[in-house]
């Protein structure tokens, strides 16, 4: 989460890391309903939410979301379910016209080192699959009609500073937020 925050802040965002365990859980209006999420221009979900923070309120808030937590792909209409957690450096760019990956080269590419990621099953969800792993499973997904992105490389902290993933992360924020 800190790596994502730093990448966004280095590109002009005012990203704030909100630690769930430091929030006042006795205050039932704090971050737990639709209105509480609306204070943010965009939200990056980089970990599991407390059970008392229902994702339905996050969805109903209409906030743009970048999701790196594979457990919520169904709730956010980005996929059916997580598939596999793997480690690889080889992926395939499927669409070079979407603003998140615009201008990147189509086809297979290698990251400088293997990273952990989770692919997802998108089923018949209304999404654009931008990047797949070598087994043809989606790793980077954008919703077709809402500002929602699944960014499956939760191991981005191990990426080199010049990794294309950081460019795509910032592009995802520019597109969604």
- Residues with Cβ within 8 Å of residue 10, at least 6 apart in sequence: none
Question: Can you tell me the mean pLDDT for 22-28?
Answer: 52
Name the more confident of 89 and 31: 89
Backbone angles phi, psi at 103, to 5 degrees: 85, -10
Q: Is the model's pLDDT at 24 over the cut of 70?
A: no
- Contact indicator for 17, 2 with CB cutoff of 8 Å: yes
Tokens linked to 136: 């043809």
Least-confidence region, from 8-12, 134-138, 164-168: 8-12
- pTM for the complete prediction? 0.86
Q: What is the pLDDT of residues 83-121, one digit of tens each?
A: 989 999 999 999 999 999 999 999 999 999 999 999 999
């Amino acid at each position: 989460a800190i790596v994502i925050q730093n990448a966004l802040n280095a590109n002009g965002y005012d990203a704030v890391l909100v630690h769930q365990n430091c929030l006042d859980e006795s205050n039932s209006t704090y971050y737990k309903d639709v209105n509480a999420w609306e204070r943010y221009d965009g939200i990056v979900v980089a970990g599991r939410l407390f059970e008392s923070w229902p994702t339905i309120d996050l969805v109903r808030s209409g906030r743009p979301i970048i999701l790196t937590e594979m457990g919520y792909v169904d709730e956010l209409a980005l996929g059916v379910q997580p598939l596999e957690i793997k480690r690889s450096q080889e992926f395939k760019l499927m669409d070079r016209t979407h603003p998140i990956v615009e201008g990147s080269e189509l086809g297979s590419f290698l990251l400088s080192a293997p990273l952990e990621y989770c692919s997802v099953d998108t089923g018949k969800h209304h999404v654009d699959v931008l990047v797949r792993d070598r087994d043809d499973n989606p790793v980077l997904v954008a919703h077709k009609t809402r500002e929602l992105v699944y960014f499956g490389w939760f191991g981005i902290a191990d990426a080199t500073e010049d990794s294309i993933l950081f460019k795509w992360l910032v592009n995802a924020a520019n597109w969604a937020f």
